[in-house]
Structure 1
Amino acid sequence: MEKEIQYEFTELVKNNFSKISENYDQHSQIQKKCASLLVLGLDKDKKYNEILEIGCGTGHYTDLLVKKYPRSKITAVDISCDMLFRARNKISHKNVSFIPGNIEEITFTKKFNLITSSACLQWLEKPINTFRILSEILFQDGVAHFLIYGPKTYKELDEVLSNHLGKGGWVTARNFMSKDILQNIFQKYFESFTITEHILTETFSSLMDFFKQIKLSGTRGYGLDKKTYLGKNMIKQMEDEYILRYGGIVVSHQVYLCRAVKPKTKS
């Protein structure tokens, strides 16, 4: 039963992103900010012969990596073939190879000097096992450099939904890994690490515009229960409460900038 649920969620995430791949770049401004924040944390003078990017999407972060490390070999993975199609059309660099697949299931035959991912790893179904595998395919003294969404993402929406629909947890981000969980994982598999929290914000003109953005950016996760119906009156009431509470349709994105180093083997 657990495997079936995990498979269903993985397929849901893949389908969400596949459906919006054609227009994703137009509705992923916050994801582009995440990619810029992540690449700024990488040392340009550092030499990474082999780079693995997890969840490359349409290739925005991949393009930033190519520009920063033009001589590195980059392996870019994504679960959605539709997203990879866009990435391949965007990037034709000879050192970049694209692989379709779920990072939690792929077996790699080589190791990497840098493993990096922007706004993807919060969707992992088995984070502990996956981080263990990633540490194993990282060279000694190699770097893991991730930006991961935290559980307080869309917290304003979750509070308003909870007030109108009862209880909490309406927003999928509630299930994302907390800083404490990430610290425990990194401490287990890496020699040294830092986790820095950032809050990125967006503002929308209406609640419906925000809902549209969630759908078109592929970040809806499970979405609302199919039995839950939000009529026009309820949406208007929720919007009024949202504006009263926060002074507008302000949306928070909690992200963790994570950097870790693979320990050297003790002699």
Structure 2
Amino acid sequence: MVKKMNFEKQFKNYDYNAITQKKVAEKLLTFIDNSEKYDTILELGCGTGVFTKTLCENLKFNHLDLNDIFNTQEFFKDIAYRNFFIENMELLELKKYSLIVSSSAFQWVDDLETLIQKISKNTSQLIFSIYSKGNLIEILNHFGVSLNYKSTNEIYKILKKYYTFVKFQEDEFILEFPTPLKALKHLKETGVTGFSSSSYSLTKSFKSTLLTYKVSYFSCKN
């Protein structure tokens, strides 16, 4: 939504406030075949483990590797993982995996196509969710700041260059808050705080009690 992410100070509050992210994680799981046993799985942008916990409870696998740009290992004490790679996923050197997954993280990537191309060389199966065009439109309209969200069709066209079979689904979640300030606080406590540097008058004049989340889910296979 904004020019930078600021999760470091929000880890303690994130799981409690990540309402949409939990819904997205649950739905993303339905795109993965849970009857199959995977040898190796890599999760990119695992954060505090919102999706990881769901994955571990529902999938069978031999080895799980995790990645995040921040060191969030303290949130994975009860997760049996093999490696934790603290690195920007765009710079991460990938190995071969049976399945690569990501939930609510790819929207932060600067060059999505380059990342997808790299992933396609290392797995025949990629499944992910991403916030897409129209996400948090209330913030864009009022503060004039947003991530460069891609439309579902734009993402689909990129994926079809590297994967033979691509299926997708779009979703919308609208959260309602008691006051506009509560809506802004919710965004701050899920790590998205770029608007906080806006003028006091802009923040005070924000009138929306709604936040609209637009999500796209993709399942890609070769």
What is the TM-score of this pair, normalised by structure 1?
0.77
* Partner Cα separation in structure 1 for residue 36 and residue 111 of structure 2: 31
> Any gaps of 5 or more consecutive residues in structure 1?
1-8, 163-169, 243-248, 263-267
Percent sequence identity over matched residues?
Answer: 25
- Matched to 2:96, the amino acid is K
Could you report, residue by residue, the CA deviation over 1:22-49 in whole angstroms, capped at 9, with x for unpaired residues?
Answer: 2211111111111111112211112221
Query: Please, which of 106, 125, 130 is the counterpart of residue 143 of structure 1?
Result: 125
Partner-residue secondary structure (3-state), 1:238 = coil
Q: Distance in 1 between matches of 2:79 and 2:127?
A: 24
* Corresponding residue number in structure 1 for 2:135: 153
SS at match of 1:116: strand
Taking a change above 3 Å as real, the CA distance of residues 133 and 235 of structure 1, as seen in their structure-2 partners, is closer
- Tell me the equivalent position of 2:17: 27
* Runs of 4+ in structure 1 over 3 Å off: 234-238
CA distance in 2, matches of 1:235, 1:115: 39
SS in 2 for 1:19: helix
Matched residue, 1:192:
165
Higher relative contact order (CA 8 A, sep 6+): 2
Structure 1 residue 57 corresponds to structure 2 residue 39: no
1:253 aligns with 2:221: no
Unpaired runs of 5+ residues, structure 2, are none
Partner of 2:200: 230
Matching of residues 114-153 of structure 1 within 5 Å: 114-138=99-123, 142-153=124-135
Shift of 1:178: 1.4
Question: Alpha-carbon deviation of 1:187?
Answer: 1.0
Q: What RMSD over aligned residues (CA atoms) do the two structures have, in Å? A: 1.8
**Match of residue 90, structure 2, among 100, 104, 107:** 104
Given the alignment of the two structures, is residue 47 of structure 1 paired with residue 37 of structure 2, yes or no?
A: yes
Equivalent of residue 146 in structure 2, options 162, 172, 188: 172
| Distance in 1 separating the partners of 2:99 and 2:130 | 16
For residues 32 and 205 of structure 2, the distance between their equivalents in structure 1, rounded to whole angstroms, comes to 45
Q: Aligned partner of 1:132: which letter?
A: Q
Structure 2 CA distance, aligned partners of 1:85 and 1:113?
Answer: 23
Count of aligned residue pairs for this structure pair: 220
Q: Structure 2 length normalisation: TM-score? A: 0.91
SS in 1 for 2:117: helix
- State the secondary structure of the residue aligned to 2:181: helix
From 147, 152, 155, give the equivalent of 1:182.
155
Aligned to 1:5: none
Separation of aligned partners in 2, 1:114 and 1:103: 16
Distance in 1, matches of 2:61 and 2:137, equals 41
Q: Which amino acid aligns with 2:216?
A: Y
Q: Using the TM superposition, give the Cα deviation of residue 237 of structure 1 relative to its aligned residue in structure 2, in angstroms.
A: 4.4
Distance 1:63 1:97, change over 3 A: farther
Structure 1 position 196, deviation (Å): 1.1
AA partner of residue 99 (structure 1): F
- Max radius of gyration: which structure? 1
Tell me which protein shows more helix as a share of its residues. 1
Residue matched to 1:86: 74
Where 2:98 maps in the other structure, the secondary structure is strand
